[in-house]
Amino acid sequence: MKIYSYITVLLFYTSLFSIQLNAQKDESLLLVMDKHKGPVYAASFSPDGKIIASGAEDNLIYLWSTETGEIMKTLTGHNSKVQFIEFSPDGNSLVSAGGTQILLWNLETGTYRLFSGHRTHIWNARFSPDGRQLISTDLLNKFRLWDIETASIIHSFEGHEKSVLAVAFSPDRKYIASGSLDQTIKIWDTETKEMIRSIEAHGGNIYSLDFSPDGKLLASASLDESIKLWDVATGKIVKLLSGHQYAVMYVRFSPDNKFLVSASYDKTAKLWEVATGNCIYTFIDQTDVLNVADFSYDGEYIVTGANDGTVMMYEMSPRFFAEFYFWDELKAEMDQSGLFEEKQRSESRQDYEARKEKADQFKKELYQKYYNKYLEKNF
């Protein structure tokens, strides 16, 4: 079935019962957190999944409850917009970057330590997998490796021709990947500090990098509107993911290696299937450009942050996969059920409302049924 037919039929069914799958509110949208005054540039789940941390133009970091969507704590200390945040692997600390400041927060006390050394705007500050080191980037053509215990610089990596905006540790901590305005990705050995590979990667600035949890792939996101997957062992491109209409600002793997989520200036986040390169779902609730999108540590939820000051949390719904891979079968069963017809003249309002409830339940069961088929087929 062509995509236009798919959308037409889907909108017909959703309009029957005001189910806004592709309108103002997504069924999978669980929380909208909108207390920031200015663009949200950073958002991340805590390892235990109980907290979302967000940082924004207002110089503030909010810690939100993923259960209620309420602010649990406000962290103040930055004198400029908060560009990046990340929880430590053990969840006890949070690193934040903004202006020329890197702050390492004790989440129990709300106090921080300042890492001094940058002289230009910091773009990234990320933990090593063991939580003992940090890597950070600014607008210079180098990036820094820090010892967390001493807050001192271990090494400055130089080799890019222009600003380094993106960095990532491999899961085994053997490698660091860096991405730059010079449109290249470079891979560095963490022991020798030597560059072992340089890749002519994109046709524009590289804004985000992420290693897959198994360490075999590296994802890159760029101003050229694309996401690319690279074989870490060979440096060869594995897949090109196209679909965004403007710069892709952020990309992250799911914990199980199977999916990617991306955030773009086209006001959407997209969910990608790594094995096929298919865009399984597009999140379109935002009214402004997106700066960040990330998975929870269990892979069950996604968080986004946008220029309109909102932070949104979604569930990874069986609906995404059921509709993408089994729409014809879904539609056939919905037609045969008779539950999704328009209100009949002879039908009372009470009977109609009862039928809507049955239709909703039937639809959920169908989604789960075809999601199970997807799992059986692919995993």
pLDDT tens sequence across 46-55:
999 999 999 9
For residue 70 the two structure tokens come to: 């309420």
Neighbour count for residue 326 (Cβ, 10 Å) = 20
Q: Is the predicted pLDDT of residue 26 greater than 90, yes or no?
A: no
* Cα 60 to Cα 83: distance, rounded to the nearest angstrom: 10
Q: What is the mean pLDDT of residues 101-108?
A: 96
Q: What is the mean pLDDT of residues 172-187?
A: 97
Q: Is the predicted pLDDT of residue 6 greater than 60, yes or no?
A: no
Q: Which pLDDT belongs to residue 265?
A: 97
**H-only helix segments in 113-255:** none
Site of tokens 């908060």: 82
For residue 128 the two structure tokens come to: 């090593």
Q: What is the mean pLDDT of residues 107-135?
A: 95
Mean pLDDT of the chain: 91
* Cα 51 to Cα 47: distance, rounded to the nearest angstrom: 8
Provide the sign of the torsion angle of the four alpha carbons 111, 116, 120, 122, taken in this order. Answer: negative
User: Which residues, other chains included, contact 305 with Cβ-Cβ below 8 Å and sequence gap of 6+?
Assistant: 40, 41, 42, 43, 54, 56, 263, 290, 291, 292, 293, 311
Q: Which pLDDT belongs to residue 9?
A: 34
3-class secondary structure per residue, 57-114: CCCCEEEEECCCCCEEEEECCCCCCCCEEEECCCCCEEEEEECCEEEEEECCCCEEEE
* Boundaries of every domain in the chain: 1-27+319-379, 30-316
Range of lowest pLDDT (8-12, 66-70, 231-235, 289-293): 8-12
Q: Reading across the β-sheet that carries 290-295, which strands appear in turn?
A: 29-33, 311-315, 301-306, 290-295
Q: Which pLDDT belongs to residue 325?
A: 94
**Which CATH code for domain 30-316?**
2.130.10.10
Question: What's the pTM?
Answer: 0.89
